[in-house]
Amino acid sequence: MTAAEAASATAHPLDVVRAGRWTRALFGTYALSLGFFEAAPLRALRRVGANDIRILADVSGVAASLGEAGAREVGRTYAVDAIGAPGGCFHPKFVLLDGEDGPRLVIGSGNLTFGGWGRNLELCEILSPRTSPRAFGDMADFLEALATSPRLDFPNAGIAASWAGALRRSGDMGGGSDVRLLHSVDRPIADQLVEMADAAGGATGLLVASPYFGLAGAVRRLADGLGLERFAVHVSTALALAGQHYDFAHDTRADRVVVEGLDEEPRQRPMHAKLIEIICRDRVLTVSGSVNASGPALSRAVNVELAVVRAGPERTPVRAFVGSLPPLPVVETEGSGSDDAILLANLVGRNLSGIVMGADAQGTWSARLDATGEFRELGDLEVGLDRRFSIEIRGGDEIGFGSRRAILALSRDGRRVAGFVTFPDLLELNRRWGSSAGSMIRVVGGSAEDEDLAGVLEYFARHPDETAAPWSNGSAVRPTDRVVDDRSVSLAELDVRPRAGGTSPHVAGWGASAIDRLIAAVRRSLVSGGTGGGGSAAGDAEDAGAGGRAASPPPERTEKVFEVIREAFASRIDDDPQTELHRLGDLGLCVLARRPDAARVSEFASWWTVLASPRLRCDPERAELRSLATAMVLIDAMAARSPIRARRRIAAMVGPVDDALDACMGAMTPVVSGLVAEATAGREALDAFVAEVRGERSVLEELPVLLAAIRAGGAPPPLPCLDREPEMARIRRRIADGFAARIPIAGPWHTSCPKCSIGLPAADIQRLRAIGLVAAQNCCSSVVVLDRSL
Whole-angstrom distance, CA of residue 702 vs CA of residue 718? 10
Give the residue-averaged pLDDT of 763-789.
88
Residue range(s) defining the domain that contains residue 486: 426-446+453-521
Give the residue-averaged pLDDT of 169-177.
63
Comparing 152-166, 264-278, 573-587, 724-738, the range with the smallest average pLDDT is: 264-278
- Going by pLDDT thresholds of 50, 70 and 90, the confidence category of residue 436 is confident
**Cα angle at 262 between 258 and 265, to 5 degrees?**
100
What is the CATH number for 348? 2.60.40
Burial of residue 52 (number of CB atoms within 10 Å: 0-12, 13-18, 19+) = buried
Over the range 637-650, which residues count as b (16 or more CB within 10 Å of their CB) and which as e?
bbbeebbebbbbbb
* Statement to judge: residues 775 and 669 lie in one domain: no
Give the residue-averaged pLDDT of 327-337.
38
Beta bridge mates, 207: 232, 277
Is pLDDT above 60 for 548? Answer: no
* Statement to judge: residues 731 and 675 lie in one domain: no
- By three-state DSSP, how is residue 128 classified? coil
Average of per-residue pLDDT values in the chain? 82
Instruction: To the nearest 10°, report the CA torsion of 373, 379, 385, 388.
Output: -40
- Domain final residue pick, 521, 554, 571: 521
| Whole-number pLDDT of residue 215 | 77
| Whole-number pLDDT of residue 666 | 79
Whole-angstrom distance, CA of residue 105 vs CA of residue 118? 19
What is the CATH number for 170? 3.30.870.10
Q: How crowded is residue 453: how many other Cβ atoms within 10 Å of its Cβ?
A: 30
pLDDT digits (tens, 9 = 90+) for 135-159: 999 999 999 999 999 999 999 999 8
List CB contacts of 270: < 8 A, sequence separation 6 or more. 115, 119, 120, 121, 211, 238, 240, 241, 242, 264
Q: Which residue has the higher pLDDT, 385 or 329?
A: 385
- List phi, psi (to 5°) of 126: -115, 115
**Cα angle at 72 between 420 and 596, to 5 degrees?**
165
| Whole-number pLDDT of residue 476 | 37
- Going by pLDDT thresholds of 50, 70 and 90, the confidence category of residue 107 is very high
List CB contacts of 152: < 8 A, sequence separation 6 or more. 83, 84, 85, 90, 146, 185, 304
Whole-angstrom distance, CA of residue 700 vs CA of residue 704? 8
Q: Rg for the chain (alpha carbons), in Å? A: 35
Is pLDDT above 90 for 409? Answer: yes
Whole-angstrom distance, CA of residue 202 vs CA of residue 670? 75
Pairing of strands 231-234, 254-259: parallel
Helices 623-640 and 670-679, packing angle to 10 deg: 10
- By three-state DSSP, how is residue 399 classified? coil
- List phi, psi (to 5°) of 576: -160, 80
| Whole-number pLDDT of residue 477 | 35
* Closest to 210 (Cα-Cα) out of 176, 168, 164, 243: 243
Q: Which amino acid is at 288?
A: S
Let me know if residue 311 belongs to a domain: no
pLDDT digits (tens, 9 = 90+) for 776-787: 988 888 999 998
* Statement to judge: residues 713 and 730 lie in one domain: yes
Q: Which amino acid is at 125?
A: E
Give the residue-averaged pLDDT of 38-65.
93
Whole-angstrom distance, CA of residue 452 vs CA of residue 92? 32
Starting at the earlier edge strand, list the strands of the sheet with 318-320: 179-183, 306-312, 284-289, 275-280, 203-209, 231-234, 254-259, 318-320
Whole-angstrom distance, CA of residue 272 vs CA of residue 264? 10
Comparing 41-45, 188-192, 487-491, the range with the smallest average pLDDT is: 487-491
Beta bridge mates, 121: 271
Question: How many Cα atoms are found within 13 Å in the side-chain-facing hemisphere of 104?
Answer: 31
| Whole-number pLDDT of residue 213 | 84
Give the residue-averaged pLDDT of 236-254.
68
Q: How crowded is residue 83: how many other Cβ atoms within 10 Å of its Cβ?
A: 25
Residues in the chain: 790
- By three-state DSSP, how is residue 383 classified? strand
Q: Which residue has the higher pLDDT, 423 or 58?
A: 58
* Statement to judge: residues 71 and 29 lie in one domain: yes
**Cα angle at 678 between 647 and 658, to 5 degrees?**
25
Taking a C-beta distance cutoff of 8 angstroms, is the pair 203, 280 a contact?
Answer: yes
Most confident listed range (116-120, 237-241, 276-280, 701-705): 276-280
Taking a C-beta distance cutoff of 8 angstroms, is the pair 61, 84 a contact?
Answer: no
pLDDT digits (tens, 9 = 90+) for 625-656: 999 999 999 999 988 899 999 998 998 899 88
Q: How crowded is residue 685: how many other Cβ atoms within 10 Å of its Cβ?
A: 12
| Whole-number pLDDT of residue 511 | 41
| Whole-number pLDDT of residue 581 | 94
- List phi, psi (to 5°) of 89: -155, 160
* Statement to judge: residues 637 and 739 lie in one domain: no
**Omega before 103 within 30 of 0, i.e. cis:** yes
| Whole-number pLDDT of residue 197 | 97
Comparing 290-304, 357-371, 397-411, 436-450, the range with the smallest average pLDDT is: 397-411
- Domain final residue pick, 467, 500, 521: 521
pLDDT digits (tens, 9 = 90+) for 663-700: 888 777 777 777 777 777 777 888 889 899 998 888 88
Percent of the chain with pLDDT over 90: 42
* Statement to judge: residues 484 and 398 lie in one domain: no
682's enclosing H/E stretch is none
Pairing of strands 203-209, 275-280: antiparallel
Is pLDDT above 60 for 226? Answer: yes
* Statement to judge: residues 45 and 170 lie in one domain: yes
Whole-angstrom distance, CA of residue 516 vs CA of residue 526? 15
Is pLDDT above 70 for 475? Answer: no
| Whole-number pLDDT of residue 145 | 96
In Å, the largest CA–CA distance within the chain is 127
Whole-angstrom distance, CA of residue 421 vs CA of residue 83? 16
Comparing 69-73, 246-250, 258-262, 757-761, the range with the smallest average pLDDT is: 258-262
* Closest to 455 (Cα-Cα) out of 37, 49, 741: 49
DSSP classification of residue 317: P
| Whole-number pLDDT of residue 504 | 35
Starting at the earlier edge strand, list the strands of the sheet with 773-775: 745-746, 783-786, 773-775
* Closest to 765 (Cα-Cα) out of 747, 741, 790, 743: 747
Q: Which residue has the higher pLDDT, 318 or 65?
A: 65
Whole-angstrom distance, CA of residue 538 vs CA of residue 35? 6
* Statement to judge: residues 684 and 750 lie in one domain: no
Give the residue-averaged pLDDT of 234-242.
59
Give the residue-averaged pLDDT of 457-461.
87
Let me know if residue 645 belongs to a domain: yes
| Whole-number pLDDT of residue 121 | 83
* Statement to judge: residues 7 and 123 lie in one domain: yes
* Statement to judge: residues 380 and 458 lie in one domain: no
| Whole-number pLDDT of residue 293 | 93
Is pLDDT above 50 for 166? Answer: yes
Taking a C-beta distance cutoff of 8 angstroms, is the pair 180, 306 a contact?
Answer: no
* Closest to 87 (Cα-Cα) out of 111, 57, 59: 59
Tally: H helices and E strands in the chain: 25, 24
For CA atoms 176, 178, 184, 190, the dihedral sign is positive
Whole-angstrom distance, CA of residue 159 vs CA of residue 710? 77
Beta bridge mates, 418: 342, 409
Taking a C-beta distance cutoff of 8 angstroms, is the pair 202, 280 a contact?
Answer: yes
Let me know if residue 440 belongs to a domain: yes
Is pLDDT above 90 for 76? Answer: no
Is pLDDT above 60 for 67? Answer: yes
* Closest to 343 (Cα-Cα) out of 412, 407, 425: 407
DSSP string, 400-420: ---SS--EEEEEETTEEEEEE
| Whole-number pLDDT of residue 232 | 93
Most confident listed range (198-202, 359-363, 649-653): 198-202
Let me know if residue 127 belongs to a domain: yes
Let me know if residue 769 belongs to a domain: yes
DSSP classification of residue 333: P
Let me know if residue 282 belongs to a domain: no
* Closest to 333 (Cα-Cα) out of 214, 466, 416: 214
DSSP string, 29-80: ESSB-HHHHHHTHHHHHHHHT--EEEEEEEHHHHHHHTT-TT--SBTTTBEE
Give the residue-averaged pLDDT of 323-349.
58
Taking a C-beta distance cutoff of 8 angstroms, is the pair 226, 203 a contact?
Answer: yes
Whole-angstrom distance, CA of residue 147 vs CA of residue 152? 9
Let me know if residue 415 belongs to a domain: yes
CA distances, 747 to each of 444, 611, 636 (Å): 43, 20, 27
| Whole-number pLDDT of residue 263 | 66
- Domain final residue pick, 500, 521, 542: 521
| Whole-number pLDDT of residue 337 | 40
Is pLDDT above 70 for 530? Answer: no
Taking a C-beta distance cutoff of 8 angstroms, is the pair 56, 28 a contact?
Answer: yes
* Statement to judge: residues 750 and 726 lie in one domain: yes
DSSP classification of residue 249: G
| Whole-number pLDDT of residue 536 | 31
pLDDT digits (tens, 9 = 90+) for 518-529: 777 788 777 776
Specify the number of domains making up the chain.
Answer: 5
Q: Which amino acid is at 764?
A: D
* Statement to judge: residues 38 and 158 lie in one domain: yes
| Whole-number pLDDT of residue 466 | 78
Let me know if residue 563 belongs to a domain: no
Is pLDDT above 70 for 545? Answer: no
- Going by pLDDT thresholds of 50, 70 and 90, the confidence category of residue 402 is low
List CB contacts of 645: < 8 A, sequence separation 6 or more. 633, 636, 637
* Closest to 239 (Cα-Cα) out of 108, 322, 329, 318: 329
Taking a C-beta distance cutoff of 8 angstroms, is the pair 752, 759 a contact?
Answer: yes
